[in-house]
Structure 1
Amino acid sequence: MVFYPPPWVPKLPFDPPDSITIGEFMRSEVHGRRPIAKSRNPFTCGITGKTFTNVESYQRSDAMAKALAKTMSWEPNTDSPWDKVIGVFSFNTIDYMSVLLAIHRLNGIATPANVASSASELEHQLRSSGAKALFTCLPVLETALTAAKAVGIPEDKIFIMDMPHHAQKPGFKTVDDLIKLGQSSPELEPLRWVKGQGARQVAYLCYSSGTSGLPKAVMISHRNVIANTLQTCIYEAVSRKRHGVETQAELGLLPFSHIYGLVVVAHAGTWRGDEVIVLPKFDLPEYLQAIERFKINHLLVVPPIVIRMLSSHDICKKYDLSSVRLLFTGAAPLGKETIQELLRRYPTWRVGQGYGMTETSTVVCSTSEDDIEVGTSGSLVPGTRAKIVDPDGKEITDYNTPGELLVQSPSVVLGYLNNEKATSEAFFWDEDGRWLRTGDEVIVTKSAKGNEHITIVDRLKELIKVKAHQVAPAELEAHLLTHPAVDDCAVISVPDERNGEAPKAFVVTPASMSSRNDEEMRAEIIKYVQDHKARYKWLKGGVEFIDIIPKSPSGKILRRLLRDREKEARRLKGAKL
């Protein structure tokens, strides 16, 4: 049985355009973009208030493209896009989107990187993507320099993004330097794209662990992002119109390097004429001050931020949050009890959730403001179809019956870069077209209004979600096995009040370590991860020593048994499961 969006959801009025860049789509009013003259400034710094109009942002992006052409000796219609890959390793800034679109103007590919990455993790992304240059910012410059040097990116190809309260570092070109250079540089020739090129050409290489395994480069086409921008905006336009919302101020805190922040906030938000209030990272007072100062209406967050607001209610009460009408969470489920407590504190707010993944270049289903069912992730967005299958691949047709979610959508990506095995495992064709295996277990239910809703039950893919970040157990296991005190190991997720989940390692020590003190080894192993991995990958769930790691006859780690062991241990201790 194939599931479709509810009857009230408008169909896509046309096939998402497949022969233009994202930048052309974002500027053109032909495809339904809110008229630029009636749109708010796209990005405003939530700390300093600095902002640019839409036209100024376009001019900055164009100038940057011309400067990059001169600096990199690139032309729009020469060489392969794969020869023009540029990394972006920076906190959110009001120029972030302008940089991305400047890269596309040169027929290049952008690979946004998580600022929490360690030097070795960034090095892996730059090397595997083939990046030739790097945009970064002062707070993470040392990490950027270490990774860039390792892959051969010279310092004159490293450019600095402007950050609030950070003076620029001499010796590096800044974004403003590039813009000044571009303003006096020759105009670029128009891109000569053929029909269908936007559907085939990669715009972004975003890194994800997919349904299993180590992080892989997800190839996201121009049409993928254009499609999901249309899908998201058309879906939300129904309730926005009913509630008289033309444009609004929305929060731009989610990292633009993450697919949620990149597409839902930076692309869809500004395409529909909203103003994105940009914050570089989560700081509770700065977050609350920005809501009050800029009268933010739409909070796009992840569950740990909601939990922090509830645990810091005395601080929150000091700020005027009356402008908020909608809080929307994604990247991980938000529990019913948490939602109910939030609504008790802020009864005028609407709270919604959505579901998506990097491989769907973002939204698959979303809550409508007019059909909220606490705990679900809402209904399918336009142009999306879904199937639910049992472990044997048989289609499930009944409501409230769990199974793996399969998705079909124009936003489903091209596949994984240089990884045919992972691509063939995640994407497949049948008589109904091309599908993505999400690796997530879901149920379909009907809301009080009769609309089909999707609820995420569990993750079959075993990823750990720390805030909005994915942590692959296999990555941490591979690292732990290089420590002399680790003979075998397995990593699972455990509940974490602050971050939603945290990694916990089960470790088998070699016989040679039998005389050593457990606490010393535990501290040593934890520090070993802290020294080499991003903070969100640290073993906040702890380290437990066991005699043997449970495995199947084929050698696959049976993490389910370890999760069951952990749940029972927590139950006996009276901890929250």
Structure 2
Amino acid sequence: MAANVNCDMPHNRISTTLITYPHWYSPKNGIYRSKHPALDLPKDPFFDLVSFVFSHRHNGVSALVDSSTGSSISYSKLQPLVKSMAYGLHKMGVSQGDVVLLLLPNSIYYPIVFMSVLCLGAVVAPLNPLSTISEIQKQIKDCGVSFAFTVPENFKKLEPLGIPIVAVPENEEGLKLDCFSCFSNMMISGEFGFYMRPVIQQDDTAAILYSSGTTGVSKGVVLTHKNLISMVELFVRFEASQYEYSCLNNVFLAVLPMFHVYGLSLFALGLLSLGSTVIVMRKFDIDEVFNAIDKYKVTHFPVVPPMMTALTKRAKGVNGSHLQSLIQVSSGAAPLNESVIQDFVQTFPHVDFIQGYGMTESTAVGTRGFNTEKLHNYSSVGLLAPNMEARVVDWSSDAFLPPGSSGELWLRGPAIMKDCPC
């Protein structure tokens, strides 16, 4: 089913005479409502995203672990590091409303940089570090970027643009190198205190992410603090609440890029509110994935379809003693065909497999699967998330369609991007 965010819902409808529909669908207006009870979201208009993430108390120990070296950041140090980095940015002239480019691969420092920018009321613009010079220039022009974090190999792409640039190391070992001295100093620059913080509203812009460009060139999606808070609550924390096992025992492997809404939602924000451990991998390599799962006893592995196919293929060539820690593999961002799903389920009978659906425009909130011992549907993307509404409409006429129909999916809810007339 193709999907497109469009919150302007017309009132045309098809005939519903003598047809009985489930309670979660209204034939009068074509709206599908979530089967899950609505969740309370923060009502304080001045409750920003970073404050929300750290407002959830837990007993988590290791927050972020570099897969290659084992260097880590504990939960006790996470918030102080965010505040210190924010203070360092403040001293370098970054202020509320400024746009900061993150041209970075995954690292244990990515969430710290991301949240430190938001502490200032500034805006994060994540971008694929493999982007071409023309792609980078387009985003910088679109967003009005005035500051950048990147890796040394990308300095040549940014230097002609005349903005301040800070190099970010991959792990703790890199902090000792001269090229990362500015970043190292920011890590110990002091604490960005409460008295220094600007007034940040939930409706303020927090991030500008670029969509896949399915209908043309890649487009900037403006997400607010409210959108991202909704994502943490309606996607990550809600899903965790569906399972009996403790979030503190969950170990996630972060191979999905954090510059993409899927990886950003989980590894840079949502999971850090739960106390789970995130094992960070710079790039996907199936042999390194196998080693990391076994070494760190990874329990959860979010993937995209090509990763899942590679995982299944690789698993067939090893004995059954590997990957025994895995509890769940979840797939999103692209559709899976039935043969790939069945191949995975047969190869990993002890692993729960679910799919989900969301977009950059919906801050990754959409639908999510859930299996029980008695009921599972591996091919389904699951149920509509709490607090979300949907319509399925005819491609040509925009007439809304009842359950069992195929058409275009429209979503409405608190996670939908800024300036969408919901």
- Counterpart selection for 2:326 from 324, 327, 346: 324
1:63: Cα distance to partner? 0.9
Residue in structure 1 matching 2:186, options 160, 174, 178: 178
* Offset, 1:116: 2.2
Corresponding letter in the other structure for 2:75? N
Report the CA distance between 1:120 and its aligned residue: 2.0
Question: Aligned letter for 2:208?
Answer: L
Higher RCO (C-alpha 8 Å, min separation 6): 2
Tell me what 1:27 maps to: 54
Residue 219 of structure 1, aligned match among 222, 231, 237: 222
- Which of 402, 410, 414 aligns to 1:410? It is 414
Equivalent residues in 2 for 1:99-138, closer than 5 Å: 99-138=113-152
Structure 1's 10 and 50: CA in aligned 2 closer, same or farther, altered over 3 A? Answer: farther
Q: Which amino acid aligns with 2:117?
A: I
Identify unmatched segments of 5+ residues in structure 2: 1-29
Task: Report the equivalent of 2:110.
Answer: 96
2:12 maps to which residue?
A: none
Which residue pairs with 2:273 in the alignment? 271
**Counterpart of 2:402?**
397
Does residue 148 (structure 1) correspond to residue 158 (structure 2)? The answer is yes
Other-structure match for 2:88: 67
The TM-score with structure 2 as length reference comes to 0.86
Compute the displacement of 1:160 (Å).
Answer: 2.5
Q: Please give the secondary structure, in 1, of the residue aligned with 2:243.
A: helix
| 1:223 to 1:167, Cα distance in 2 relative to 1, 3 A | closer
- 8 Å Cα contact 1:47/1:164 also seen in 2: no
Deviation at 1:367, TM superposition (A): 0.4
Structure 2 CA distance for aligned equivalents of residues 207 and 244 of structure 1 = 34
Contact 2:305–2:334 at 8 Å: present in 1 too?
A: yes
Alpha-carbon RMSD across the aligned residues, in angstroms, is: 2.3
| Structure 2 letter corresponding to 1:202 | T
Equivalent runs, 1:149-548 vs 2, <5 Å: 149-154=159-164, 157-163=165-171, 170-171=178-179, 173-180=181-188, 182-183=189-190, 187=193, 189-193=195-199, 197-199=201-203, 201-209=204-212, 212-241=215-244, 243=245, 247-317=249-319, 320-370=322-372, 371-391=375-395, 392-399=397-404, 401-415=405-419, 427=420, 429=421, 434=422
User: What displacement does 1:312 show?
Assistant: 2.5
Residue 209 of structure 1, CA deviation: 4.3
| Distance apart, 1:40 and its partner CA | 3.6
Letter of the aligned partner of 1:46 in structure 2?
S
Contact 1:240 1:246 in 2 (8 A): no
CA, structure 1 residues 43+379, in 2 after alignment: closer, same or farther (shift >3 Å)?
same
Q: How far did residue 230 of structure 1 move?
A: 0.3
* Deviation by residue 1:438-489 (Cα, 9 ceiling, x = unmatched): xxxxxxxxxxxxxxxxxxxxxxxxxxxxxxxxxxxxxxxxxxxxxxxxxxxx
1:560 paired residue number: none
Distance (Å, rounded) in 1 between the aligned partners of 2:141 and 2:79: 30
Q: Alpha carbons of 1:291 and 1:150: their partners in 2 closer, same or farther (altered >3 Å)? A: same
C-alpha displacement at 1:237, in angstroms? Answer: 3.6
Specify which of 34, 46, 56 is matched with residue 67 of structure 2.
46
Calculate percent identity across the aligned residue pairs. Answer: 25
Match of 1:4 in 2: 33
Letter in 2 for 1:4: R
Distance in 2 (alpha carbons) for counterparts of 1:190 and 1:351:
46
CA contact (8 A) 2:168 2:180 kept: yes
Kept after mapping to 1: 8 A contact 2:167/2:179: no
Q: Give the secondary structure class of the aligned counterpart of 2:46.
A: coil
From the superposition, tell whether residues 50 and 315 of structure 1 become closer, same or farther in structure 2 (CA, over 3 Å).
Answer: farther
Displacement of 1:190: 3.9
* Matched AA of 1:87: L
Change in 2 beyond 3 A, CA 1:27/1:352:
same
Matched residue type, 1:146? K
Distance 1:168 1:129 in 2: 33
My pick for the range that moved more, 86-95 or 211-220, is 211-220
Deviation at 1:346, TM superposition (A): 1.1
Q: d(CA) in 1 for partners of 2:195 and 2:170?
A: 28
Relative to structure 1, is the Cα distance of residues 186 and 338 closer, same or farther in structure 2, using a 3 angstrom cutoff?
closer
1:410–1:207 CA distance, 2 compared to 1 (3 A): same
Residue 18 of structure 1: how far off its partner (Å): 3.6
- Please tell me whether the aligned partners of residues 17 and 226 of structure 1 are also in contact (alpha carbons under 8 angstroms): no
Alpha-carbon contact 2:232-2:270 (below 8 Å) kept: yes
Query: In the alignment, which residue of structure 2 is the partner of 1:481?
Result: none
| Amino acid in the other structure paired with 1:334 | L
Structure 1 pair 106–294 and aligned structure 2 pair: CA distance change class (3 A): same
TM-aligned CA deviation for residue 15 of structure 1: 4.9
159-168 or 42-51, larger mean C-alpha shift: 159-168
Q: TM-score, normalised by structure 1?
A: 0.64
Identify the match of residue 76 of structure 2 among 55, 58, 65.
55
Q: Deviations over 1:518-568 (max 9, x none)?
A: xxxxxxxxxxxxxxxxxxxxxxxxxxxxxxxxxxxxxxxxxxxxxxxxxxx
Q: 1:257-298 CA deviation, whole Å, 9 max, x = no partner? A: 000000133222221221111111111121111100111111
Q: Structure 1, residues 149-194: CA drift from partner, whole Å, max 9, x if none?
A: 232224xx333233477687645544222113x13x7746343427
Amino acid at match of 1:12: L
Change (3 A) 1:102 1:39: same
Distance 1:244 1:173 in 2: 39
3-state SS of paired residue (1:351): strand
Take 1:147 and 1:127, find their aligned partners in 2: how far apart are those partners?
A: 14
Larger Rg computed on CA atoms: 1
Q: Is the 8 A contact 1:288 1:316 kept in 2?
A: no
Write the distance in 1 (CA, Å) between the matches of 2:187 and 2:339. 49
Q: What do the CA deviations read for 1:289-339 (whole angstroms, capped 9, x no partner)? A: 110011111110111011112232354548620110110001101222111
2:13 equivalent in structure 1: none
Deviation at 1:145, TM superposition (A): 2.1
Letter in 1 for 2:330: F
Counterparts in 2 of 1:148 and 1:168: CA distance versus 1, 3 Å: farther
Q: Number of residue pairs matched?
A: 390
One-letter amino acid of the counterpart of residue 175, structure 1 = F
Match of 1:421 in 2: none
Query: How many angstroms apart in 1 are the aligned matches of 2:393 and 2:60?
Result: 43
1:72-123 Cα shifts (integer Å, max 9, x gaps): 2x45xxxx50xx2111111111111111111111111111111221222122
AA paired with 1:5? Answer: S
Secondary structure of the 2:242 match is: helix
CA contact 2:247–2:275 (8 Å) conserved in 1: no
The 8 Å contact of residues 161 and 174 in structure 1, kept in 2 or not, is answered as: no
Q: Which residue of 2 aligns with 1:496?
A: none
